[in-house]
Amino acid sequence: MELHFRDLSSHEEFQNFIKRAKDENKKLYLEIGYGSGIVLRKRVEKEVDVLHMGLEIKGKFVKKMKKYTEKYNVENLYVEKADAKYILPRFAAENSFDKIFIYYPDPWWKKKHKKYILFDYYFIADLYRALKKGGTLNIQTDVVDYFELIKSKFEYFNEFKECDFDDIVALENSSTFEIKGLEKGHVLSKIAYKK
């Protein structure tokens, strides 16, 4: 079988945007799995002095967000089609982000799909590494059992301390999956942790 090597250069832009925040001495926020991107766009438009990044595994959402940045000449946002679990530990420098947001992550209830669940111990450690000291991780979900699972995993990490949810934009605007959850009568939960 022919060997296929990963194209590591394709993540240069991702790394350069992180570096840009350092060079320009700007805050840097990251949303993982932004989906239709309602909240990400609102945040980009409200927090203009901040540099924003978005990681999304589905190409159609990345295309849509790239169209938006091109149409409105948005310079404070960079999005990439990538699996956050792959790219964060390999290409995000330590102490990069002031805030990370993960809203309504997909739950994987089937046993054989458990390996795809976003919040495993390695990923939590990767998030910790990528956050700046004092940086926050904001999480929302409409799945009560998933919320409990997330909390139980964070309890293992003494380094993360629970803190106030600090994404004003998400408090003022509902994401697509938040709206869906509300329509289904789900309980919405939010939590935040500080490094």
Residue numbers of the site for ligand SAM (CB under 6 A)? Answer: 32-36, 55-58, 61, 83-85, 103-106, 118, 175-178
Instruction: State the nearest-atom distance from the C-beta of 181 to ligand SAM, in Å.
Output: 9
What is the C-alpha to C-alpha distance for residues 117 and 134, in angstroms, rounded to an integer? 26
CA 130 and chain centroid, separation: 11
Q: Which of 162, 11, 165, 151 is nearest to 93 (CA)?
A: 11
Instruction: State the nearest-atom distance from the C-beta of 158 to ligand SAM, in Å.
Output: 26
Assign 89 to helix, strand or coil.
Answer: helix
Q: Which of 132, 148, 108 is nearest to 27 (CA)?
A: 132
CA 61 and chain centroid, separation: 14
Instruction: State the nearest-atom distance from the C-beta of 56 to ligand SAM, in Å.
Output: 5
| CA 27-99-147 angle, 5° bins | 170
Pick between residue 78 and residue 103 the one whose CB is nearest to ligand SAM.
103
Pick between residue 2 and residue 17 the one whose CB is nearest to ligand SAM.
17
Q: Which one of 83, 106, 120, 166 is the catalytic residue?
A: 106
Instruction: State the nearest-atom distance from the C-beta of 53 to ligand SAM, in Å.
Output: 12
DSSP letter at 185 equals T
Q: Is 136 left (phi over 0), alpha (psi -120 to 50) or beta?
A: beta
Pick between residue 103 and residue 193 the one whose CB is nearest to ligand SAM.
103
Structure tokens at 156: 């293992």
Is 120 catalytic? The answer is no
Q: What residues are annotated to the active site? A: 106
